[in-house]
Amino acid sequence: MLYADKHALRTRLKVSLLVIRHRELQFYTKNCIAIGTNALFLASFAWWGLTEPAFDELGGDMVQTVYLVITAMIMALELLATVTSTLVAILGPALAIRGPDGAMHTAVDCMVSHYRFTFVCFALGLVFFQLSVISFMHMQYTPEISGPISVAVIIGTLYMLTSSWRIYSLLKLRAQTMVTGDFAGGPDEIADSMALPPHELTRMAAAQAELQSRAKIELQGRDAPQPSRGRSWLGRARAS
């Protein structure tokens, strides 16, 4: 009986742990899908910038080379972010749902690391996108026109970076205060730590055995044959 109760405790504890980790799984899956979608848009813009402009009629060789290199870096970074986030969003839940025991924890931990890598690639692609705009302005227009445009783009980029850093600093989770769905030790160790002391278990076992013996005695008393009322009246009449 105690073994069955302990096994049931472990099973319920495993289910509770999986429910908590499943929230993390959904969180990182949605974020990866969002990053991958936006990264794909930027990669499309970079592809247009590599194929559409008439480079023979614009700028010098140095400016064109800088523009092409920066734009190619945008497409590479954003495609890397798109592919990584897509694979994480597809393979992570598949491993968590169909994998063996402990696969949920492995999937979530892997998604956390690749989610950070995907975010860094996406952020670098945004910075290179601004640099590509500046180089395109120098390739498209004269210095008198491209100069003020470049200054405006630089100011906007600096404001974007400072605003993003401020938001990140306010909402950043510190490593020492971060709460995850992972627990120290497996479900068996946690169940053992939650178990009652030995004397309490002995007392509960004795009480349960006593209740079972009383119930057995009551059932035996109910099943015992009762004397007939007619025979008892006849016996009293003869005795009198």
Confidence band, pLDDT 50/70/90 cuts, at residue 193: very low
Q: Report, as an integer, the average pLDDT of 40-60.
A: 79
- Measured in degrees and rounded to the nearest 5, phi and psi for residue 99 equal -80, 175
Q: Report, as an integer, the average pLDDT of 4-33.
A: 75
Say which amino acid occupies 43. Answer: A
More confident residue, 180 or 237: 180
In this predicted structure, what is the pLDDT of residue 234? 47
Q: Report, as an integer, the average pLDDT of 99-119.
A: 84
Nearest to 14 by CA among 188, 135, 157, 168: 188
Q: Report, as an integer, the average pLDDT of 37-45.
A: 90
Whole-angstrom CA distances from 140 to 54, 58, 110, 146 are 10, 6, 44, 8
Copy the structure tokens of residue 41.
Answer: 């848009």
204 vs 186: CA distance, rounded Å: 26
Q: Looking at the whole model, is its pTM more than 0.75?
A: no
Residue 156 above 60 pLDDT? yes
Q: Write the pLDDT tens digit of every residue in 203-227.
A: 666 776 777 777 777 767 666 555 5
